Every structure is written in structure tokens, then in C-alpha cells.
Structure 1
């Protein structure tokens, strides 16, 4: 009897790499949405340029930092004032 095994996860296959990239993209999108929702809930207006930068950011550490700061800033642009972009390795 032949046992059919899967090389996913943990084998570095193209399928796994694609899955992990999609997972990272989804996490980044969720963090960006969280930042924008906090600002909206606090009544802080967000310029379209700022909204675009937050929404298109792919660096999860940067988005986590912005998420934490979204609770305390008085203007949305303050989130982007700091140069805080941690590049993450390709997954």
C-alpha cells in the first residue's frame, strides 16, 4: 500500500512559499485596516495620501508600530513622521 505524503508545510516548496506570502499579505492588510479604524474611531481625519501609504505598507513591524501609535497621535500624519520601516525578509 502506497502512502501519499505532502511536502507542505515545511519543505520550502513553491506552494508553501506562495501560501506564506499570501498569509503575510493578509496580515499586513489586517494591520493596516486596524490602524485606519482606530484613527476613524478616534475622529482623526486621514488624508487620502496618508490612507494610501498605510494601506499599501507591506512591512508588518512598521504597521504594528503605527497600530500602537494610532491610539495616541493627534493627527494621522504623525504616524508617518518617524522613519520606521523594518524590512522583512521575503517569505
Structure 2
């Protein structure tokens, strides 16, 4: 009976400790973010700003300057500068 109780306690301790190992280290995601995603985001800001300048006269005529600036400048800037490193959501 004592062995069975020790076995149950040991299994319970192991099962409780398993969720602690479920949270993996996201260092690869952080490195990929810093090396690839942030520079691409910075380039998309530059390219988006260029397209925004080209589209500005047409957007002004239709009254859609806010939507175009949001899509071409603000969203890439938030992706590049406002989100935590390694978080792609």
C-alpha cells in the first residue's frame, strides 16, 4: 500500500511539472524578427511612403487620404516599431 501511495504521489508531481516545460523559449523567433522581419518592415515603410506620395493627389480627390496613409505608412510602422520582439501577431 505504501509503494502504491508513493507511486501516485510521484506520478502527480511529474504531471504537475509538465506544464512548466510547455512554455518554450522563443529565441529563434526573436532572432528571426530582428534579422529579417524588422529590416523588411523598415523597407516597407520607405516603399509605402513612396507609393503614398504618388497616390496622394488621387487620394485627395477621392477623400481617402486617411485610409491610404493607414495602409501604406501606419500599419508597417506599427509592425516595425510598436510590437514586442518575436511577436508576429
Shorter-chain TM-score category? 0.3 to 0.5
Of structures 1 and 2, the one with the larger relative CO (CA 8 A, separation 6+) is 2
Q: Which has the larger radius of gyration?
A: 2
Structure having the higher helix fraction is 2
What is the TM-score of this pair, normalised by structure 2? 0.37
Normalised by the size of structure 1, how large is the TM-score?
A: 0.37
